[in-house]
Chain A
Amino acid sequence: MDLLLIKEGFPLLTFLIFLPLAGAVVLLFFHGESFARLWTLVITSLTAVISLLLLTGFDSASPKYQFAEAYDWIPRFHINYIVGLDGISILLVLLTTFIMPFCVLASWKYIKNRVAPFMFCLLIMETSMIGVFVALDFVLFYIFWEFMLIPMYLLIAIWGGPRKVYASIKFFLYTLAGSVLLLVAIIALYLKSGSFFIPEMMWQEYSLVFQVLVFLAFFLAFAIKVPMFPFHTWLPAAHVEAPTAGSVILASVLLKMGTYGFLRFCLPITPDATMLLATPILWLSIAGIIYGGFTALAQQDMKKLIAYSSVGHMGFVTLGIFVLNSRGVEGAILQMINHGVTTGALFLCVGMIYERTHSRDLALASGVGKYMPWFVTFLAFFSLSSFGFPGTNSFIGEFLVLAGAFDHDIILALAAIPGAVLAAAYMLRMLQKVVWGGTANPDQSYLTDLSIREIVVLAPFLIFVFWIGLGPQPFINLMHTSVSQLLDQLHHWQQHHQIAAVLWR
């Protein structure tokens, strides 16, 4: 079976990867501040518009990797430049390309010094993020995966808050340390399968011990990136100190790479180990959901609150992936998108408050509803979306995940329910404080409501909140074929390899 649907003619994916890079190179030569802002906006918007071509050309009935391109790169080691797109990655690529213009807009006034280098880092980030989602060669994937650390590190370390040095180094060390063993696992897989081509590594007869070792190496790298409890400690630090655009990228795209990794690599490459180890991972997800909820409840810093809520939300995603049924996995992918939209928007909101009050403290931002009606309207919708209010996007995602979890194991699903309640608690607490506050509100009369630019930034997020919330079918259609193909193969595998999945029962 040929896995690739080679794209003839215009190399669309390569163009999408390297357009931001080319834009970044231009910024090396022209340093003007307003030029840098405009240029980056143009490049990111152009990338976003061109990425729509993916949507029109995508055949959602085929589980193959589409828009594929393959070129020789390092023949001696069988390393090739292969990119392609399937139902799992297409939404993530689109999410990336569409988040970026808003990151640029959000930094329009927020970033005041060293504008050109900032934009340079953003563009480099975009290149490597798209690269990660479309790479079908493991070495290519790893290169994008690791390279991303440099611009992200610089984004936090140069333009971050007061504890930026600590946060950025922690981020870098954690993620790098997690992925060094990934490299060894990649090489080991190559030596077994004879190729770095990812689909060729899938569904091979590896021994169980080998699978478990590879799985653990994968797990460490991806769990740190997600971040799963108990590997989450870098996240609040990085989120809090990063500039708004950095937080948005981190929350909307970077965290998805971990869960994308689970789906793309763990399930098909190490199916036996996945089934063997799914149960402890599921319970870790539950722990993350509950822990994230409780910690978020106690936060005074709005960014920290949202960061911990991310830990909880990403717990839902890993929960959905490892229940290993189609509702769960589709819910998980949808939840990845939802989290990208909602949390990205929440970080943008916090950034807008911060630009005005220069504080992210809940107490100092309380009672702004009177002076910023537009702002709190947006904030209210995004908060509702964040805890999965019916009619918003997260409801669909969490509902599917929980439905999948009930199919899998009732106790597990029941254990996840408190997480949903906690989410409502901490989000409503924040909303209450920000909109109304109490009797002792600080004087907020100097605040101005959102400008047109800020409304333009937030409105598209709102559209997606309701679009996915009310009509999720087009999104699910995109991923359905690939997901069911993946799960069919997994169950087929399970039947033919009687593995001791009963070990944990």
Chain B
Amino acid sequence: MVILPELVLLTGALVFFVVSLGKTPDRNVAKFIALFFGFATLIAACLSYQLQATLFYGVYAVDQYSQMFKVLIGFSLALLLVSGQNLKGIDTSVRSEYYMFLLLSVLGLMMLVSSVEMIAIFVSLELSSFSLYLLVPMRDDRTGIRVQMEAGIKYILFGVMATGFMLYGMSYLFGLTGTTYLKDIVGFLSQGSLQPAVVVAVLMVLIGFFYKLAVFPMHFWVPDIYQGASNETTGFIATIPKFGAVALLIRFLTVPTGQSPFLIELLAVISVCSMFYGNLSALVQKDIKRMLGFSGIAHAGFITLGLLSMKYEGYGLAIYYIAGYVLMNLACFLVISNVSREGENLQIDDFSGLYQRQPVLAFILSVGLFGLAGIPPFVGFMAKFMILTSALRTDHLLVVCLAAINTAIAIYYYLSVVKAVYTVDPGDRPVVVVHPLIQATGVLLVITIVLIGALPAKFVDFASAVVQAVL
């Protein structure tokens, strides 16, 4: 029972495996099976929420921390599956395989948040990543220029490189401490004096997670992969894996490197670089997915800023931030995948007059974008505000000022999309037809974005308490 959500996902993947063996089923069959397993995962995650256990010789910890992330992942997965249910960018014949790999990737992430031993971390991270690498080239090759293949190969090559760094760092940690259990590593390192080798090792491991989170300088895969993958796949890449990355980053940063000033300064530099690089590059983008990709790099910088304080409160805030970010991104990608008629990429111009073509989607998109821009009362503002507070409390005035300036830069490109949606004439662009269920999902997202933005106290307290209790 303690690993119920993982089992549900695994069952789902196996069902899709069986389905994919036969003749291509009706497109609705795959959709309904996927939706079923999406919601089953959410329910299973909620059911197993209170459970605690340590499994498999202590490498797999089911604790409050992991269960909280599993609920978040399950919730996002269900919303993602509903909002991208039409799967326009994927050919009907490979949809079963697509869903199989999607569920496997989520399975990997769920295992990741529970892993407390380096080998287990590595295995689950790779399970999640390799499934994801395969999702990218599955895009319907309509344009004939095979950009999805380029994206896929870039993704896998860069990914493998990052993994290499991570493995190397893990080998250092093992060499220094003689164990692969995070708990024992912590215990061992906190006894003796700290060596520079520890810092190097931790940094190398961090590179692997930075890659997942897309923090500068491990960001370079983002724009091409976001653009090359189908809208639904990008919606997945941009959201759920970030949970895994943040969960692991937090688990790992508690490895005592003496909270060395060096590491903190490095995180500060990385965070500022991410923000500036992401925001400045996003300013000139025409393709909405590329733009959101660069904006994601900037947001990753903000999350790093939350981790900077090296305090439980900061970790709790990082979790709050990532949860809010995922919700807002889900809202944006819900609109993107439904405005796109046959799964093609969308330019910002393609949103012209969306307000007249489909007012509900226009509303959802604007809430998502204003939220990402950090305008109150949406969750983006509260998260940004609290992270800035916590960073200033640890005396990073310069970083905080630079981050604040970045907010002002970022508003321009978010606003340019809102401008297209509300003020530009639609011309001959057709009306967008959307299933009411998808609209309802979007409205649910909007309500959640406003609610957890206006009433963040419970969530942040809870997340901080969980981090403190577990780590």
Residues of A within 8 A of B (CB): 73-77, 139, 142-144, 146-147, 149-150, 153-154, 157-158, 164-165, 168-169, 172-173, 176-177, 180-181, 183-184, 187-188, 190-191
Query: B407 at the A/B interface (Cβ < 8 Å)?
Result: yes
Contacting residues, chain A, for B370 (C-beta < 8 A): 150
* A191 near B401: Cβ-Cβ < 8 Å: no
Instruction: Give the CA-CA distance A76 to B381 in the complex, in Å.
Output: 17
Q: Which residue of A lies closest to B395 (CB)?
A: A191
Interface centre among B404, B407, B412 (most CB of A within 10 A): B404
* A139 near B393: Cβ-Cβ < 8 Å: no
Minimal beta-carbon separation of A125 from chain B (angstroms)? 14
Minimal beta-carbon separation of B399 from chain A (angstroms)? 11
Contacting residues, chain A, for B464 (C-beta < 8 A): 76
Known contacts A75-B457, A76-B460: does B393 contact A191 (CB below 8 Å)? Answer: yes
Instruction: Give the CA-CA distance A165 to B415 in the complex, in Å.
Output: 11
Q: Which residue of B lies closest to A179 (CB)?
A: B408
* A77 near B386: Cβ-Cβ < 8 Å: yes
* A146 near B422: Cβ-Cβ < 8 Å: no
* B405 near A143: Cβ-Cβ < 8 Å: no
Closest 6 CB pairs of A and B: A143-B376, A177-B408, A180-B404, A74-B457, A157-B423, A180-B408
Minimal beta-carbon separation of A319 from chain B (angstroms)? 29
Q: Which residue of B lies closest to A181 (CB)?
A: B404
Contacting residues, chain B, for A146 (C-beta < 8 A): 375-376, 381
Contacting residues, chain B, for A77 (C-beta < 8 A): 386, 389
* A190 near B389: Cβ-Cβ < 8 Å: yes
* B422 near A154: Cβ-Cβ < 8 Å: yes
Minimal beta-carbon separation of B400 from chain A (angstroms)? 6
* A76 near B400: Cβ-Cβ < 8 Å: no
Q: Which residue of A lies closest to B412 (CB)?
A: A173
Minimal beta-carbon separation of B69 from chain A (angstroms)? 21
Query: B253 at the A/B interface (Cβ < 8 Å)?
Result: no
Minimal beta-carbon separation of A62 from chain B (angstroms)? 32
Contacting residues, chain B, for A172 (C-beta < 8 A): 411, 415
Instruction: Give the CA-CA distance A191 to B411 in the complex, in Å.
Output: 27
Known contacts A74-B457, A147-B377: does B411 contact A176 (CB below 8 Å)? Answer: yes
Segment 374-425 of B: residues with Cβ below 8 Å from A: 375-377, 381, 385-386, 388-389, 392-393, 397, 400-401, 404-405, 407-408, 411-412, 415-416, 418-419, 422-423
Contacting residues, chain B, for A143 (C-beta < 8 A): 376-377, 381
Query: B256 at the A/B interface (Cβ < 8 Å)?
Result: no
Minimal beta-carbon separation of B440 from chain A (angstroms)? 14
Segment 432-471 of B: residues with Cβ below 8 Å from A: 456-457, 460-461, 464
Contacting residues, chain A, for B408 (C-beta < 8 A): 173, 176-177, 180
Query: B117 at the A/B interface (Cβ < 8 Å)?
Result: no
Instruction: Give the CA-CA distance A173 to B414 in the complex, in Å.
Output: 11
Contacting residues, chain A, for B376 (C-beta < 8 A): 142-144, 146-147
Instruction: Give the CA-CA distance A330 to B407 in the complex, in Å.
Output: 37
Minimal beta-carbon separation of B78 from chain A (angstroms)? 25
Instruction: Give the CA-CA distance A188 to B375 in the complex, in Å.
Output: 20
* A180 near B392: Cβ-Cβ < 8 Å: no
Instruction: Give the CA-CA distance A164 to B393 in the complex, in Å.
Output: 41
* A187 near B405: Cβ-Cβ < 8 Å: no
* A173 near B386: Cβ-Cβ < 8 Å: no
Contacting residues, chain B, for A187 (C-beta < 8 A): 385, 388-389, 392, 400
* A157 near B422: Cβ-Cβ < 8 Å: yes
Query: B313 at the A/B interface (Cβ < 8 Å)?
Result: yes
Contacting residues, chain A, for B313 (C-beta < 8 A): 76
Minimal beta-carbon separation of B409 from chain A (angstroms)? 9
Residues of B within 8 A of A (CB): 313, 355, 370, 375-377, 381, 385-386, 388-389, 392-393, 397, 400-401, 404-405, 407-408, 411-412, 415-416, 418-419, 422-423, 456-457, 460-461, 464
Contacting residues, chain B, for A183 (C-beta < 8 A): 385, 388, 404
Contacting residues, chain B, for A157 (C-beta < 8 A): 419, 422-423
Instruction: Give the CA-CA distance A338 to B68 in the complex, in Å.
Output: 56
* B461 near A76: Cβ-Cβ < 8 Å: yes
Contacting residues, chain B, for A190 (C-beta < 8 A): 389
* A76 near B419: Cβ-Cβ < 8 Å: no
Instruction: Give the CA-CA distance A146 to B419 in the complex, in Å.
Output: 18
Some 10 contacts from A to B, beta carbons below 8 A apart, are: A77-B386, A149-B375, A150-B375, A158-B423, A169-B415, A176-B411, A180-B405, A181-B405, A183-B404, A191-B392
Known contacts A146-B381, A176-B408: does B423 contact A165 (CB below 8 Å)? Answer: yes
* A73 near B407: Cβ-Cβ < 8 Å: no
Known contacts A76-B313, A147-B376, A176-B411: does B404 contact A184 (CB below 8 Å)? Answer: yes
Q: Which residue of B lies closest to A174 (CB)?
A: B408
Known: A77-B386, A187-B400. 19 other contacts (CB 8 A): A73-B457, A74-B456, A74-B460, A75-B457, A76-B460, A76-B461, A77-B389, A143-B381, A146-B375, A146-B381, A147-B375, A153-B418, A157-B422, A168-B419, A173-B408, A184-B388, A187-B385, A187-B388, A191-B393
Minimal beta-carbon separation of B138 from chain A (angstroms)? 38
Contacting residues, chain B, for A75 (C-beta < 8 A): 457
* A173 near B411: Cβ-Cβ < 8 Å: yes
Instruction: Give the CA-CA distance A181 to B407 in the complex, in Å.
Output: 10
Q: Which residue of A lies closest to B390 (CB)?
A: A77
Minimal beta-carbon separation of A117 from chain B (angstroms)? 8
Minimal beta-carbon separation of A113 from chain B (angstroms)? 10
Instruction: Give the CA-CA distance A73 to B411 in the complex, in Å.
Output: 27
Instruction: Give the CA-CA distance A337 to B313 in the complex, in Å.
Output: 45
Minimal beta-carbon separation of A194 from chain B (angstroms)? 11
Instruction: Give the CA-CA distance A77 to B408 in the complex, in Å.
Output: 24
Contacting residues, chain A, for B407 (C-beta < 8 A): 176, 180
Contacting residues, chain A, for B457 (C-beta < 8 A): 73-76
Contacting residues, chain A, for B416 (C-beta < 8 A): 169
Instruction: Give the CA-CA distance A435 to B419 in the complex, in Å.
Output: 39
Minimal beta-carbon separation of A191 from chain B (angstroms)? 6
Contacting residues, chain B, for A73 (C-beta < 8 A): 457
* B419 near A165: Cβ-Cβ < 8 Å: yes
Instruction: Give the CA-CA distance A181 to B406 in the complex, in Å.
Output: 11
Q: Which residue of A lies closest to B411 (CB)?
A: A176
Q: Which residue of B lies closest to A154 (CB)?
A: B422
Minimal beta-carbon separation of A24 from chain B (angstroms)? 13
Contacting residues, chain B, for A184 (C-beta < 8 A): 388, 392, 397, 400-401, 404
Instruction: Give the CA-CA distance A169 to B417 in the complex, in Å.
Output: 12
Minimal beta-carbon separation of B348 from chain A (angstroms)? 14
Contacting residues, chain A, for B415 (C-beta < 8 A): 153, 169, 172-173
Minimal beta-carbon separation of B324 from chain A (angstroms)? 15
Instruction: Give the CA-CA distance A150 to B456 in the complex, in Å.
Output: 22
Instruction: Give the CA-CA distance A22 to B355 in the complex, in Å.
Output: 23
Q: Which residue of B lies closest to A142 (CB)?
A: B376
Instruction: Give the CA-CA distance A146 to B407 in the complex, in Å.
Output: 12
Instruction: Give the CA-CA distance A139 to B377 in the complex, in Å.
Output: 11
Interface centre among A76, A168, A169, A177 (most CB of B within 10 A): A76
Instruction: Give the CA-CA distance A201 to B405 in the complex, in Å.
Output: 24
Interface centre among B392, B423, B461, B464 (most CB of A within 10 A): B423
Instruction: Give the CA-CA distance A143 to B455 in the complex, in Å.
Output: 13
Contacting residues, chain B, for A76 (C-beta < 8 A): 313, 457, 460-461, 464
* A139 near B385: Cβ-Cβ < 8 Å: yes
Instruction: Give the CA-CA distance A75 to B408 in the complex, in Å.
Output: 28
Instruction: Give the CA-CA distance A139 to B397 in the complex, in Å.
Output: 19
Minimal beta-carbon separation of B347 from chain A (angstroms)? 18
Minimal beta-carbon separation of B374 from chain A (angstroms)? 9
Contacting residues, chain A, for B460 (C-beta < 8 A): 74, 76
Q: Which residue of A lies closest to B409 (CB)?
A: A177
Known contacts A173-B412, A176-B411: does B419 contact A181 (CB below 8 Å)? Answer: no
Instruction: Give the CA-CA distance A143 to B415 in the complex, in Å.
Output: 18
Instruction: Give the CA-CA distance A176 to B375 in the complex, in Å.
Output: 9
Instruction: Give the CA-CA distance A169 to B377 in the complex, in Å.
Output: 20
Contacting residues, chain B, for A176 (C-beta < 8 A): 407-408, 411
Residue among B400, B423, B461 making CB contact with A164, cutoff 8 Å: B423
Interface centre among A77, A158, A188 (most CB of B within 10 A): A77
Interface centre among B355, B370, B375, B412 (most CB of A within 10 A): B375
